[in-house]
């Protein structure tokens, strides 16, 4: 069983590095995932979901370090919400760094972010 799990993680990471999309369980449903900083991969997610490009997809992050690499600022109120509700199914929209791909941004330059619980199958993949 352990070998199968390692094989699955390896395949998921290889897919992400190849601009492909993966399916993974979250704490509520299954999600489609891709490398959020890869415009080709992000476009695939939009196409597969049939999602309007004007409605940005959230970025799942492994930890605060990864969050800080995506956002320009974490206001005090956001810190309070993070401390109380993360990890978990709360998505926050925070001001994005300049290098974040346009398809992930809302009309005011914000990016939706959340941290999955540590035992989530995807939280391990996000950190890789």
Residue-wise pLDDT tens digits, 78-87: 999 999 999 8
Question: What's residue 105's pLDDT?
Answer: 95
Q: How far is CA 35 from CA 59, 62, 75, 76, 124, in A?
A: 9, 13, 26, 28, 14
List the domains of the chain with CATH numbers.
2-126 (3.90.870.10)
Q: By C-alpha distance, which of 72, 57, 68, 70 is closest to 21?
A: 57
- Categorize the per-residue pLDDT at 12 as very low, low, confident or very high, splitting at 50, 70 and 90: very high
Residue 127 region, left (φ>0) first, then alpha (ψ -120 to 50), else beta? alpha
pLDDT, average across residues 49-59:
92
Residue-wise pLDDT tens digits, 20-34: 999 988 777 888 999
Cβ 56 vs Cβ 87: under 8 Å: no
Question: What's residue 30's pLDDT?
Answer: 86
Backbone dihedral angles phi then psi of residue 104, each to the nearest 5 degrees: -90, -5
């Amino acid at each position: 069983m352990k070998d199968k799990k390692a094989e699955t993680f390896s395949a998921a990471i290889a897919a992400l590095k190849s601009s492909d999309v993966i399916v993974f369980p979250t704490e509520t449903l299954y999600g489609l995932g891709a490398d959020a900083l890869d415009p080709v991969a992000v476009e695939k997610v939009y196409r597969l979901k049939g999602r309007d490009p004007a409605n940005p997809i959230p970025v799942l992050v492994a930890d605060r370090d990864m969050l800080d690499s995506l956002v320009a600022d974490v206001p005090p109120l956001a810190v309070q919400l993070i401390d109380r509700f993360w990890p978990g199914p709360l998505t926050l929209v925070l001001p994005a760094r300049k290098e974040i791909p346009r398809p992930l941004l809302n009309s005011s330059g914000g990016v939706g972010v959340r941290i999955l619980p540590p035992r989530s199958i995807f939280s391990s993949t996000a950190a890789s």
